[in-house]
Amino acid sequence: MDIKLKYGRNFYDNNLSDTSSVILNTTAANLISTGNPVGTTIKTISGESYVITGVVNDFYLKSLHSEIPPVAILLKHTDQMLSQVIVRVNDNNYESILDFLESTWNEFGPRKSKFEYDFFEDILRANYTKDHNFSTTLNIFTFIAILIASLGVFGFSFYNAKRRTKEIGIRKVFGGTPRSIIKLFSKELLMLILIANIIAIPVSYILSVQWLSNYAFHIQTPVWVFLITTLLSIIIVVISSGISILNVARKNPTESLRYE
């Protein structure tokens, strides 16, 4: 599991008599002392005494949905059969390793206990299945919503340009440039987009905070995300308005005035 030692020492190699020692994770150590607790004696509920010989960095046994619990690692002699064992392997030849583990389990494990195994990566991945499915679904619906909104903006821009063809022609006759006409007509849509963002940003922020609260460890929702979405919506409006109005503004003013 690649657990890093922070203070003290590990259990003595090949010395099963080191049973009075205990190694804590950082969360457990912080409950006992704010400094280095190595050498401190602690007692269990049953009255057994252990000397803290080491502290390791916090490690995840579950998903990020839950906080890291305090953990005490003991080296104990027991006549009771173990039902679970964690094994770290460095070889990629998993087939031969699994055969060895199965034969060893059948020899020393509990009687009539079937050998079953899971890879730690698969267990962690399974903890995030719901999050992955939710993220995929959200991305699909977000793409559809953006597509529909973009088509709506383009459609409204073309409709607005067609409806005001005569006005565009008059402005051109009086010296209006395509750029000035685009700027003028884009203001209306930009006001609607800004109002929509003012309503949507607080709602999006509240929903994101609620979703992130499901995790014990999570980031803060950055402000730049909302700024970028607002900027992108403005760009879409400017482009759609520019294309639709430019098509009309390029025409001969006489054609525009005769349109209606």
> 62-106: per-residue pLDDT in tens?
777 788 889 988 876 665 666 778 888 877 788 888 888 888 888
pLDDT tens column, 191-218: 888 888 899 889 988 888 888 887 877 7
176/220 same-domain check:
yes
Q: Which of 77, 108, 138 is the last residue of a domain?
A: 77
148/109 same-domain check:
no
pLDDT surpassing 80 at residue 128: yes
What distance in Å separates the CA atoms of residue 190 and residue 198, rounded to the nearest whole number? 12
69 to each of 63, 90, 201, 218, how far by Cα in Å?
12, 27, 36, 17
What distance in Å separates the CA atoms of residue 37 and residue 209, rounded to the nearest whole number? 37
| Average confidence (pLDDT) over 218-247 | 82
For the whole prediction, is pTM greater than 0.75? no
As a whole-number percent, the residues of the chain with pLDDT over 70 amount to: 88
135/229 same-domain check:
yes
121/238 same-domain check:
no
Highest mean pLDDT among 1-5, 130-134, 163-167, 215-219: 130-134
182/89 same-domain check:
no
Domain count, the chain: 3
114/137 same-domain check:
no
208/148 same-domain check:
yes
Q: What residue numbers bound the domain in which 91 lies?
A: 81-127
Q: With cut-offs at 50, 70 and 90, classify the pLDDT of residue 161.
A: confident
pLDDT surpassing 90 at residue 34: no
The mean pLDDT of the chain is 81
- Asked if 205 contacts 221 with a C-beta cutoff of 8 angstroms, the reply is yes
Q: Which of 68, 96, 127 is the last residue of a domain?
A: 127
pLDDT surpassing 80 at residue 247: no
Q: How many Cβ atoms sit within 10 Å of the Cβ of residue 247? A: 13
Give the count of alpha carbons within 13 A of 42, CB side only: 19
72/147 same-domain check:
no
